[in-house]
């Protein structure tokens, strides 16, 4: 179950935009009372869409679709921080981290009348580490006098502070221009924001059977979509109806057009793979079951793992299989592909369409895992059990413990563990295994990071 749905004013679920390209996402981060709500309501506007958050998500997160200067984008308000048992610092880290994960750019709001507080500075440290653009707004600058003080926020190292008055609208034009300049045309954080068709990248080295598989899946029922009009790269997507359901296969132009590049072919292939992954939610890695795993196969697999996308492995040309080869292949899968044992695997024959009907169930499984959100209570229950049965080895006479764990994002699931000391990599991997045993995650990478607290 996806946790967020985008609704229009009448409460109808919104379709993706005509291109199916996800709108870019801006996350708003800031302490309570700095004026985030005022900024969102008055300046960005929440006219077009209201989005509901289903129960089970621990904190309030609201998304709106909005528009400025003719460009549409999604605003995510990650909610204010409250002092509670967990403490403000933990909340701060979580919220900022989540914003960074969820968004293409972050709008960080500070109170221009108060200046930067210690809590603000803690957020700044996190924001400075991200590669995503950060726009710094100094709110409550209601008149020229406040502007001078706002300028002192240059010292935060986040670039130019934009003085703004959410209350009166002052400075909001410049701020919004800066926001638009920072946002990409199409979101790189997944289409969570707009729903739309599931996006699949079909990957594999030349001659593995990509084009044959595409033909087997599409038959005559294909719609070619020029996704990025006016660019020279001409990636073309195809919308393919499989058993009454549409899927978007991204960047199929490079698959259809049999280009034979001699020099630099590898380089271009890897660029194409990157571009396809950026747009996709799930990747199908096609392997040739009649040939040994190649270095290029391994490179493609690593790229998919690094991209954080869901993954399905398809062994093609299974019609060429014999007993001996098959034994070898099973061994190979367990040894050379040990890092992706979590990926669903199907054996197919693209040229005869044998078992190609197993592809969409595998894609669904992988995407479901990719979207999974583990309730905080359940997660911490498991963590407590792990600490009981398999505590971290002593370090210098001390017992590093997990204080609290939280899933900070989906797509893919990412977990942060707040701990009382440094955790060994081996123990982190152990926890990752236990998470998989308990919650499945078939077809998705997961990430576990540790924040030691003193």
Find the binder of ligand GDP among 103, 124, 166, 383 (CB under 6 A).
166
- Which of 24/30 has CB closer to ligand GDP? 30
- Which of 296/351 has CB closer to ligand GDP? 351
75 known ligand binder: no
140 known ligand binder: yes
Residue 32 structure tokens:
């309570």
CA distances (Å), origin 205, targets 291, 337, 363: 12, 16, 20
What angle separates helix 265-279 from helix 295-307, to the nearest 10 degrees?
30
In sequence order, what E strands does 69-204 have? Answer: 71-77, 105-111, 134-139, 161-163, 199-203
31 known ligand binder: yes
Find the binder of ligand GDP among 12, 33, 294, 381 (CB under 6 A).
33
319 known ligand binder: yes
226 known ligand binder: no
String marking each residue 35-74 x if it binds ligand GDP according to CB under 6 A = xxxx------------------------------------
- Which of 169/452 has CB closer to ligand GDP? 169
CA distances (Å), origin 190, targets 123, 197, 356: 24, 11, 26
- Which of 240/255 has CB closer to ligand GDP? 255
Label the pairing between strands 161-163 and 62-68: unpaired
132 burial level (CB within 10 Å; 0-12, 13-18, 19+): middle
The partner residues of 83 in beta bridges, in order of sequence, read none
Closest approach, Cβ 400 to ligand GDP, in A, equals 35
Our measurement of the distance from residue 198's CA atom to the centroid of its chain's CA atoms, rounded to an integer in Å, reads 14
The reply to whether omega before 143 is within 30° of 0 (cis) is no
274 Cβ partners below 8 Å, 6+ apart? 303
- Cβ atoms of 420 and 447 closer than 8 Å: no
> Should residue 184 be labelled a site residue for ligand GDP when binding is judged by CB under 6 A?
no
How many whole angstroms separate alpha carbon 223 and alpha carbon 227? 12
> Should residue 210 be labelled a site residue for ligand GDP when binding is judged by CB under 6 A?
yes
Burial 207-224 (b: 16+ CB within 10 A, else e): ebbbbbbbebbbeeebee
- Cβ atoms of 238 and 222 closer than 8 Å: yes
Find the binder of ligand GDP among 27, 153, 255, 435 (CB under 6 A).
255
Find the binder of ligand GDP among 2, 32, 53, 358 (CB under 6 A).
32
Piece of 67-75, 264-272, 348-356, 359-367 that binds ligand GDP (CB under 6 A): 348-356
Find the binder of ligand GDP among 148, 181, 224, 320 (CB under 6 A).
320
- Cβ atoms of 297 and 205 closer than 8 Å: yes
Closest approach, Cβ 364 to ligand GDP, in A, equals 23
How many whole angstroms separate alpha carbon 370 and alpha carbon 188? 16
Closest approach, Cβ 257 to ligand GDP, in A, equals 10
> Should residue 200 be labelled a site residue for ligand GDP when binding is judged by CB under 6 A?
no
CA distances (Å), origin 242, targets 245, 246, 317, 379, 443: 5, 6, 21, 36, 20
> Should residue 207 be labelled a site residue for ligand GDP when binding is judged by CB under 6 A?
yes
> Should residue 317 be labelled a site residue for ligand GDP when binding is judged by CB under 6 A?
yes
19 known ligand binder: no
354 known ligand binder: no
String marking each residue 274-313 x if it binds ligand GDP according to CB under 6 A = ----------------------------------------
273 known ligand binder: no
Q: Per CB under 6 A, which of residues 374..433 are in contact with ligand GDP?
A: none
Closest approach, Cβ 188 to ligand GDP, in A, equals 26
How many whole angstroms separate alpha carbon 137 and alpha carbon 156? 12
Our measurement of the distance from residue 278's CA atom to the centroid of its chain's CA atoms, rounded to an integer in Å, reads 10
String marking each residue 131-150 x if it binds ligand GDP according to CB under 6 A = --------xx-x--------
> Should residue 336 be labelled a site residue for ligand GDP when binding is judged by CB under 6 A?
no
Closest approach, Cβ 5 to ligand GDP, in A, equals 23
Closest approach, Cβ 338 to ligand GDP, in A, equals 25
Piece of 162-170, 338-346, 393-401, 409-417 that binds ligand GDP (CB under 6 A): 162-170
Label the pairing between strands 310-316 and 402-409: unpaired
User: Which one-letter DSSP state was computed for residue 264?
Assistant: T
- Which of 193/349 has CB closer to ligand GDP? 349
How many whole angstroms separate alpha carbon 353 and alpha carbon 349? 6
Residue ranges of the annotated binding site for GTP are 30-37, 77-81, 139-142, 204-211, 251-255, 316-319
Residues contributing to the site for ligand GDP (CB under 6 A): 30, 32-38, 80, 139-140, 142, 165-167, 204, 206-212, 255, 316-317, 319-320, 349-351
């Amino acid at each position: 179950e996806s946790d967020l749905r985008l609704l229009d004013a009448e409460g109808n679920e919104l379709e993706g935009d005509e291109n199916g390209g996800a709108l870019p996402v801006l996350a708003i981060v800031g302490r309570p009372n700095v004026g985030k709500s005022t900024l969102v309501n008055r300046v960005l506007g929440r006219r077009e869409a209201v989005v509901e958050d289903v129960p089970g998500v621990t904190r309030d997160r609201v998304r709106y679709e909005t528009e400025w200067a003719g460009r549409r984008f999604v605003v995510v308000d990650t909610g204010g921080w409250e002092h509670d048992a967990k403490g403000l610092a933990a909340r701060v880290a979580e919220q900022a981290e989540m914003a960074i994960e969820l968004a293409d750019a972050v709008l960080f709001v500070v109170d221009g009348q108060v200046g930067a507080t210690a809590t603000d500075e803690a957020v700044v440290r996190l924001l400075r580490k991200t590669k995503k653009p950060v726009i710094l707004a100094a709110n409550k600058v209601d008149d020229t006098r406040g502007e001078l003080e706002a300028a002192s926020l240059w010292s935060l190292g986040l670039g130019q502070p934009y003085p703004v008055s959410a209350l009166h609208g002052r400075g909001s034009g410049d701020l919004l221009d800066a926001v638009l300049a920072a946002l990409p045309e199409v979101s790189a954080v997944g289409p969570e924001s707009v729903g739309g068709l599931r996006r699949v990248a079909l990957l594999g080295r030349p001659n593995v059977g990509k084009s044959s598989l595409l033909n087997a899946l599409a038959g005559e029922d294909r719609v070619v979509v020029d996704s990025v009009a006016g660019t020279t790269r001409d990636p073309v997507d195809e919308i393919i109806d499989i058993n009454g359901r549409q899927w978007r296969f991204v960047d199929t132009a490079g698959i259809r057009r049999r280009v034979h590049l001699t020099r630099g072919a590898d380089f271009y292939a890897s660029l194409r793979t990157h571009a396809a992954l950026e747009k996709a939610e799930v990747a199908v890695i096609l392997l040739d079951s009649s040939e040994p795993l190649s270095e290029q196969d391994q490179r493609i697999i690593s790229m998919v793992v690094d991209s954080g996308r869901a993954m399905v492995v398809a062994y093609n040309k299974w019609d060429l299989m014999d007993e001996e080869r098959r034994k070898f292949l099973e061994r190979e899968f367990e040894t050379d592909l040990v890092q992706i044992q979590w990926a669903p695997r199907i054996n197919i024959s693209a040229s005869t369409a044998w078992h190609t009907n197993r592809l969409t169930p595998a894609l669904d499984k992988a995407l479901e895992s990719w979207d999974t959100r583990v309730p905080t209570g359940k997660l911490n229950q498991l963590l407590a059990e792990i600490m009981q049965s398999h505590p971290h080895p002593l370090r210098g006479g001390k017992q590093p413990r997990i204080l609290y764990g939280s899933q900070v994002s989906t797509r893919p699931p990412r977990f942060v563990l707040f701990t009382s000391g440094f955790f060994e990599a081996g123990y982190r991997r152990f926890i990752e295994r236990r998470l998989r045993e308990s919650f499945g995650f078939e077809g998705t990478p997961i990430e576990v990071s540790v924040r030691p607290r003193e």
